[in-house]
Amino acid sequence: MALTRRSFLITTSLAAGVAAAKPLSVVKPLVKSAADLRDWAAVREQFDLDPGYAHLGLFYLASHPRPVREAIESYRRKLDANPFLTVERALFERPEDNMPLRVCARIAKYIGGDPNDIALTQNTTTGLALIYHGLPLKQGDDILTTNHDHYVHHEAIRLATERNGATWRKIPLFDSYDGISADEMVDRIRRAIQPNTRVVGVTWVHSASGLRLPIRRIADAIGQVNAQRSAAGRVLLVVDGVHGVGVEDPHVVQLGADAFSAGTHKWIFGPRGTGFVWARPELWASMRPLLPSFTAPELFDAWAQERKPDRPARAAWFTPGGFQSFEHHWALPAAFDFHDAIGSPRITARIHSLNLQMNDELRKLPNVVVYTPRTDGMYAGMVCFDVKGMRAQQVVDKLLEKKIIASTTPYAVPFARLAFGIMNTPEEVEKTARAMRSL
Ligand SMILES: Cc1ncc(COP(=O)(O)O)c(C=O)c1O
């Protein structure tokens, strides 16, 4: 297998290799100029979506925009032409050709972090599992989470605590969707932290209700608790950020989390089956990897010399090794280039404006209860609601009859959900409002 041939020239720091790297010869420039993408119709044309539908659930799984499709295709051709040499060069030889390093560097540029603090994953789920299984938790430790997180977040906690003996609790951040307050949510978390609490796990944008949490304020409240604690007793903030990344301000490192997991195959429109975890370097150093890595030469060296690794863990140790669908993983930078070409502030403004327009239209209907707040800072890219006397699935079915693709929220009590992204239009909001009025 390829590992035996590697010279593993990759240094333990990304800085040298990636900074010096020339554009990959494999792939030509993929993104239209920013000027081409100034017009939302041009953005929409980048997607191969079936024009017969209003697609209001694309956060579920990305449709690849043209630059991403082209990048995947380009790497696929390269792999089909020469799988051995392509993989050897991209994983095990010169740092400037190393694709995982390049992908980490591109993510870091977008989120405002250090490439060395990023592990590559297949999705949000894998990232959360790597975090919770990797944390140095033990019997007597407590994880605090909320009633509003996704199944995969709670399952990652349950599976990890069943192994490490820690306990976990869920709390509600509000009692009623009518009166959600940022102050109260922050306060509830702060008050629920016990002396043995080591982790708080929350979700940036709830896919149950569309609510966006004030993560920076939660981080600051936890910081106040930590100011009174020793380093060993610190409370860590873990964030499932998948419905914020690609919608909100990209500088997620500034949110103040200790660890952040997101798939890049939803709002980023990256290749399906891609994602990342960013965590503070001190946290990575305290964690234990779950899977063998192919991106950390020191682990291979230690194994070859039949000794334990002689240095603290780092993010690269957590990128799952083994051969992957490389054409997808390596094409991820094209998705970030696409976002940057459109402009993140424009993307945020557009997504907020479309979803607020929908929220306001739904609130005009007497038979509809809207759960997503319309207060600035508390919504992102989706609107969740109920129609009185109808099940959420019936609402979704009725909309589908009118060629509008909505979804139900995958939670114990499902709501109907509409999500407008960069490929949607104000006309689609109006069309959906008309359909809703006829229900
Ligand atoms: C809040 C939240 N977290 C995690 C996931 C799972 O994401 P992934 O498919 O990237 O693992 C979802 C799925 O939509 C979600 O809504």
Domains of the chain, CATH where assigned: 113-323 (3.40.640.10), 344-437 (3.90.1150.10)
Average pLDDT value over all residues in the chain: 93
Centroid of ligand 1 to alpha carbon of 150 (angstroms): 7
Centroid of ligand 1 to alpha carbon of 121 (angstroms): 13
Does residue 9 register a pLDDT over 60?
Answer: no
pLDDT band at 129 (very low <50, low <70, confident <90, very high): very high
Centroid of ligand 1 to alpha carbon of 419 (angstroms): 15
Q: Return the axis-axis angle of helices 392-401 and 426-437, rounded to nearest 10°.
A: 110
Centroid of ligand 1 to alpha carbon of 91 (angstroms): 28
Q: What is the Cα–Cα distance from 339 to 188, expressed in whole angstroms?
A: 35
Ramachandran sector of residue 403 (left: φ over 0; alpha: ψ -120 to 50; beta: rest): left
Region 161-186: what's the mean pLDDT?
97
Q: Which amino acid is at 248?
A: E
Centroid of ligand 1 to alpha carbon of 124 (angstroms): 6
Structure-token pair, residue 117: 């603090």
Task: Select from 204, 239, 242 the residue to mutate for testing ligand 1; criterion: most ligand atoms less than 8 Å from CB.
Answer: 242
Region 379-392: what's the mean pLDDT?
98
pLDDT of residue 37: 87
- With a CB cutoff of 8 Å and minimum separation 6, the contacts of 393 are 408, 414
Task: Select from 61, 131, 207 the residue to mutate for testing ligand 1; criterion: most ligand atoms less than 8 Å from CB.
Answer: 207
Q: Are 321 and 222 in contact (CB under 8 A)?
A: no
Does residue 20 register a pLDDT over 90?
Answer: no
pLDDT of residue 32: 52
Which helix (H) or strand (E) covers residue 170, if one does? Answer: strand 167-171
Structure-token pair, residue 295: 């991106």
Minimum mean pLDDT range among 1-10, 92-101, 129-138, 355-364: 1-10
Centroid of ligand 1 to alpha carbon of 160 (angstroms): 18
Region 43-54: what's the mean pLDDT?
96
Q: Are 152 and 128 in contact (CB under 8 A)?
A: yes
Q: Are 421 and 401 in contact (CB under 8 A)?
A: no
Region 275-283: what's the mean pLDDT?
98
Structure-token pair, residue 246: 């690609």
Q: Which of 312, 437, 428 is nearest to 368 (CA)?
A: 437
Give residue ranges with CB within 6 A of ligand 1.
123-125, 150, 152, 203, 207, 240, 242-243, 263, 275
Kindly give the number of the ligand 1 atom that is closest to the alpha carbon of 125.
11
Instruction: Work out the widest C-alpha separation in the chain, in whole angstroms.
Output: 71
Does residue 10 register a pLDDT over 90?
Answer: no
Q: What is the Cα–Cα distance from 48 to 62, expressed in whole angstroms?
A: 11
Task: Select from 121, 122, 124 the residue to mutate for testing ligand 1; criterion: most ligand atoms less than 8 Å from CB.
Answer: 124
The Cα angle at residue 281 between residues 280 and 287, in degrees rounded to 5: 95
Q: What is the DSSP string of 90-133?
A: HHHS-GGG-HHHHHHHHHHHHHTS-GGGEEEESSHHHHHHHHHH
pLDDT of residue 36: 80
Name which residue sits closest to atom 12 of ligand 1, judged by CA: 150
Percentage of the chain with pLDDT > 90? 90
Q: What is the Cα–Cα distance from 251 to 14, expressed in whole angstroms?
A: 20
Centroid of ligand 1 to alpha carbon of 84 (angstroms): 33
Q: What is the DSSP string of 233-249?
A: GPPEEEEE-TTTTTTS-
Centroid of ligand 1 to alpha carbon of 423 (angstroms): 20
